[in-house]
Chain A
Amino acid sequence: MTETNDSIAVQARGVGKRYGGLWALQDCTIQVPAGSITALVGANGAGKSTLLQLLTGLIKASAGEVTVFGERPAQTASFLANVGYLAQEIPLYADWSAQDYIDMGRHLNASWDESLMRRHLEELSIPLDRAVGSLSGGQRAQVALATALAKRPKLLLLDEPVAALDPLARHDFLASLGQAAADSDMTVILSSHSLPDLETICDRLLILEMGRVQLADDMDHILATHYLLAGPQSTKPPLAEPYVIVQETHTGRQSQFLVQTEAAKLPHGGTWHTTPVSMEEIVLAYLRHHQTGQPNKQNGDKK
Chain B
Amino acid sequence: MITFRLESRSGVPAYLQLMQQVKHALRLGILREGDQLPTVKEVTKMIVINPNTVSKAYRELENEGLVRGRIGSGTFVLARPSGPSPEVQTQLAEEVAAWIVRARAADLDDEAIITLVRSVLHNEKEGLSDGNE
Contact = CB atoms under 8 A, between A and B. Distances in A.
Contact of A278 (B8, B40, B45, B52): B8
Interface of B: 6, 8-16, 40-41, 44-45, 47-53, 56, 115, 118-119, 122-123, 131, 133
Given A37-B50, A182-B41, 13 more contacts: A174-B48, A181-B50, A183-B41, A200-B47, A200-B48, A200-B49, A200-B53, A203-B53, A219-B14, A269-B115, A269-B118, A269-B133, A275-B11
A279 B8 contact: yes
Interface string A145-183: 000000000000000000000000001001100110111
Interface in A184-226: 196, 199-203, 219-220, 223-224
A130 interface: no
Contacts of B12: 223, 276
A183 B45 CA distance: 12
Nearest to A170: B48
Contacts of B51: 178, 181-182
Contacts of B40: 182
A89 interface: no
Given A182-B40, A200-B50, A175 B45 contact: yes
A273 B118 CA distance: 11
What's the dominant secondary structure at chain B's contact region?
A: helix
A219 B13 contact: yes
B49 A201 contact: yes
Contacts of A121: none
Interface residues of A, number: 32
A278 B122 contact: no
A247 interface: no
A269 B119 contact: yes
Contacts of B13: 219-220, 223-224
A33 to B, nearest CB: 10
A280 interface: yes
Interface in A273-303: 273, 275-281
Nearest to A183: B41
Contacts of A178: 44, 48-51
A35 B8 contact: no
Interface of A: 35-37, 171, 174-175, 178-179, 181-183, 196, 199-203, 219-220, 223-224, 268-270, 273, 275-281
Contacts of A181: 44, 50-52
Contacts of B9: 278, 280
B48 A203 contact: no
B11 A175 contact: no
A35 B44 contact: no
Contacts of B41: 179, 182-183
A178 to B, nearest CB: 4
Contact of B11 (A35, A200, A273, A278): A278
B52 A37 contact: yes
B6 A182 contact: no
A258 B122 CA distance: 22
Contact of A277 (B11, B56, B115): B11
Contact of B119 (A183, A219, A268, A278): A268
A294 to B, nearest CB: 24
B8 A200 contact: yes
Nearest to A184: B51
Contact of B44 (A179, A199, A273, A275): A179
Contacts of B56: 220
A280 B10 CA distance: 10
A180 to B, nearest CB: 9
Contacts of B14: 200, 219-220
